[in-house]
Every structure is written in C-alpha cells, then in structure tokens.
Structure 1
C-alpha cells in the first residue's frame, strides 16, 4: 500500500514537473512573441513570427497573428502607394494646368500690349486662347469624372445595348481625321447585330478614347482597326494599331492615374494620363474587363470584354 502510494506521488510530481516545464517554455515563447511583435509594429517591417513549437494552441495563435501582420503590411503598402500616387497626381495636375494657363496668359498679354496687331492676327491669337481654354476645361472635366467614378458618385446603369451599332457610329465619327492623316481602317463587325449588357454613353466614351489613342499614338503604322468578336457568354472589342507599340515595362502601368504614354509611344502627343484610367473604371462598372497586348510595329491591341445578351 505504501509502495503504491509512493509511486502515485512520484507520478504526480513528474506530471507537475512536465507541465511546469511546458509552462516555462510557453512563457519564453510568449515573451519572445511579444517582443518580436512590438519590434515589427514599431519598425513597420515585413517580418513574420517564427517559433519552433509543438504547442497546438500556440501554433494557432501564431498563424492568426501572422495573418493579421500580412493584412496590416498589405494595408501599409497600399497606403504608401496611394500617397505616392497622390503626390504624383498633384505634381502632374500642377504641370497640366500650368501649361495651358501659361499659353493663355501669354496670348492675352500680347493682345493687351501690342495695339498694332491686325484684325487677322488678333483673331488667330483669340482662337489659340479659345483652344487652350477648351483643353483646360476638358482636363478639369476628366479629373471630376474620374473622382466621381472612384468615389461611386457617378451612376452607370446597364441595360441591353446594340454594340454593333455603337462600334460603327464611333469609328465613323473619326472618318475625317483618319482621311486627313492618310490612315487606313479595318473594321470587322459581324453582319448580325451583337447585344451586350452595358451603358451606351459609357461605351461611347470608352471607344472614343481607345480610337483616339490608336490615332494619336499609333499613326506611324498608317493602319488602325476595330474588331468585334462574339463568344457564347462574352463579346470582345479590339481596337488596334500598327504603330510604335508599348514597351513591356509600361504595359502594367498604362491604366494607372496620370500615367502617360509619351515615353513609350508618341512624344508629340501630350495626353493627360486620365483617359485609360477612366476607360478601365467604366468597363469595370459594366462588369467587364480590359486588357492590353503590344508588339512594336506589328500590333498594339486594347481589348475589352462585356457580357453578351442573346435574347
């Protein structure tokens, strides 16, 4: 009896000692986790918590903490990116506003100070002032439109739209410009009308911008095209040109706010860097997607996809 009792006491002591050792190890891990977590948060590093342990509960806590750290680091990265974009936007806005305003002020000073200008010269100067004023107003409207789109203030209701007719109308609206620049056009639209779930006004803006870009940036190829492709569930519109193209390093950035294509395509044409951003937002609001593929002097294609309506 005494032996049995002694053995029970020994076993009990061993169990308590083992539990005590586990508690000591867990406490060491918790102290390390607390210190490491504090360092990561204070220094805003991209580290993760790594602890070698067989403690299942501690492993679950570590997994949850690392998930939170990942989300926090992602939020910080997005915040930094947004800050950089805002700085760039303010810089570009200042530059884009300053250029036409400087021209306008210059011509106004000429008109005020030079009283010997002929009527014809005055009319030419006033015409240039008008053009720059329209350009500035267009830029301001683009900023407001993009702000409305990104804040969700602009409603883009979708309904059944005859995309075939919208495509024909938009490419024909550029007929005079294309003829003056001696640019050939290839149009591939199915004979039967193609219908999509979209917004006609938004589609007009999208196509107008894509065709304008094809002309302004790809005119060197002397050929642009518009293809309308139909699949079971989706409809695709390709606007393409045979111009200089877009380098690989620019492809992922062309849809960013205020990212212009001057460096990669036609430096003679100064864009605001807002058109493609607005285009992308409008396509997304119609539950669509837009992509870019480019092979310099072979084919540069902006392609967007919309949901097909077959009834």
Structure 2
C-alpha cells in the first residue's frame, strides 16, 4: 500500500515538473514571439515570424500573425503608392491650372496697360480670357467628379440600354471632327439590337472620353474604329486606332489618377490625366470593365465590357 502511495507521489511530482517545463517553454516561446514581432514592426522588415514548435496552437498563432504582417505590409505599400499619386496629382493640378491662369492674367494685364486697344483686338483678347476661364472651370469640375466617384458619393441608376443607338449617337457626334482631321471611320455596329445594363449618361461620358483620346493620340494612323458586339454574358465595345500606340509599361498605368502619356504635356497633347481614370470608375460603377491592348503604330484598342441583357 505504501509502495503504491509512493509511486503516486512520484508520478504527481513528475507531472508537476513536466507542467513546469511546459509552462516555461511556452513562456520562452511567447516572449520570443513578442520580441521578434516588435523587432519586425520597428524595422519595417519583410521577415516572417518563424518558430520551430510541435504545439499546434502556436503554429496556428504564427500563421495568423504572419498573415497580419503581410496585410500590414500591403497596407503600407498601398499608402505609399497613394501618397506618391497624391503628390503627383497635386503637381499636375498645379501645372494644369497654372497654364490657363497665366494666360488669363497676362491677357488682362495687357488690356489694362493698353486701354486704347482697337475694339477688334480687345474683343479677341476678351474671347481668349473667356475660353481659358471655361477651361479652368471644366478642369475643376473633373477634379470634383473624380472625388465624388472615388468617395462613393455619386450614385448611378442602372437600367436597360439600347447599345446600338448610343454607339451610333456618340460616333456621329465626332464625325465632323474625324472628317476635318482627314481620318477615315471604320464603324461596325450590327443591325440586331444589343442591350446592356448601364447608365446612359455614364456610357455617353465613357465613349466620349475614349473616342476623344483615340482621335487625339491615334490620328497619325489616319483611321478610327468602333465595333459593337456580344460575347457570352457581355456586351463589348472596341474603340481602336492605328496611331503611335501605348507601350507595355504605360498600358498598366494609364487608368491611374493623374497619369498622362509622355507626350501629353506638350502643346499638341494637353490633358489633365483624369479622363481615363474617371472612365474606369464609371465603367466599374456599372459592373463593367475596361482594358487596353496596344501594338504601337499597328493597333491600339480600348475594350469596354458591360453586362448583357436579353
């Protein structure tokens, strides 16, 4: 009987020792995790938290912590990109506003210094000031539009849209400009009606932005094209040209806020860098997508895809 009691006491003692060793090991591992986590965060390191353990719960904890670290790194990278984009946007806003404002102020100064200007010359200068003032207002409106789209304040009521009619209307609106630029138009709009889920005002603006870009940047190819067609559950619109195109690096950037092609800061290709960003946001609000493919001097095509309705 005493032997059995002795064995029980020994086993209890061993159990206590084992529990103490286990607690100590867990405490050491937990301290290591805490110290290592602080070190990774303080150094903004790309390391992961590694610990060799047979404890299943600790392994789960490490997986969860590493996921949080990765999400934190992604958030920091996103913030850095956003901050860089905001700085570039402010620089471009300053540039785009400064140019017409300089013209306005210069013209007004000329008129003030020369009060005896001939009537015809004064009217010409006033007309220039008016045109530049409209340009400034339109630019500010685009900034506000983008702000509303990105903040979610702008709602688009969606309905069934007859895409054949809306495509014809938009390409016809540019027909005089296409002819005056000496371009040919290749239009492929089927007779059979195609319907999409969208917003008329938004689609008009999307097509207007893409068509104006095709004419501005693709006029060197001497042809502008539009094709309307369906594929599975989508209605697709291709707007294409055979101009100088967009190189592969820029194709991934042209929909970003305030991004402009290298030529867009010279006198021939002025732009705010907002048109395609607004276009992309509008398409996304209609549950659609827009993409671009380009082979410089061969073919550049913007494809707008919207949900097809029967």
Q: Could you tell which deviates more after superposition, 37-46 or 262-271?
A: 262-271
How far 1:75 sits from its partner (Å)? 2.0
Alignment of 1:43-192 (within 5 A): 43-192=43-192
Q: Is the 8 A contact 2:221 2:244 kept in 1?
A: yes
Unaligned runs of 5+ in 2: none
- Aligned-pair Cα RMSD in Å: 1.9
Q: Describe the shift of the 1:266–1:241 C-alpha distance in structure 2 as closer, same or farther (beyond 3 A).
A: farther
How far 1:5 sits from its partner (Å)? 4.5
How far 1:116 sits from its partner (Å)? 4.9
How far 1:131 sits from its partner (Å)? 1.8
Could you tell me how far apart the structure 1 residues matched to 2:272 and 2:91 are? Answer: 12
Q: Is the 8 A contact 2:218 2:244 kept in 1?
A: yes
How far 1:77 sits from its partner (Å)? 2.1
Unaligned runs of 5+ in 1: none
Alignment of 1:1-311 (within 5 A): 1-263=1-263, 268-310=268-310
Could you tell me how far apart the structure 2 residues matched to 1:217 and 1:200 are? Answer: 26
Q: Could you tell which deviates more after superposition, 168-177 or 15-24?
A: 15-24
Could you tell me how far apart the structure 2 residues matched to 1:111 and 1:213 are? Answer: 36
Could you tell me how far apart the structure 2 residues matched to 1:2 and 1:133 are? Answer: 105
Q: Could you tell which deviates more after superposition, 13-22 or 129-138?
A: 13-22
Q: Could you tell which deviates more after superposition, 100-109 or 18-27?
A: 18-27
Scaled by the length of structure 2, what TM-score is found?
0.94
Q: How many residues align?
A: 310
Q: Is the 8 A contact 1:186 1:225 kept in 2?
A: yes
How far 1:111 sits from its partner (Å)? 1.8
Scaled by the length of structure 1, what TM-score is found?
0.93
Q: Is the 8 A contact 1:262 1:270 kept in 2?
A: no
4+ residue runs of structure 1 moved beyond 6 angstroms?
264-267
How far 1:7 sits from its partner (Å)? 4.3
- Where 1:49 maps in the other structure, the secondary structure is coil
How far 1:135 sits from its partner (Å)? 1.2
Could you tell me how far apart the structure 1 residues matched to 2:32 and 2:179 are? Answer: 73
Q: Is the 8 A contact 2:199 2:286 kept in 1?
A: yes
Could you tell me how far apart the structure 2 residues matched to 1:303 and 1:224 are? Answer: 14
Could you tell me how far apart the structure 2 residues matched to 1:263 and 1:123 are? Answer: 33
Q: Could you tell which deviates more after superposition, 24-33 or 288-297?
A: 24-33
- Where 1:257 maps in the other structure, the secondary structure is coil
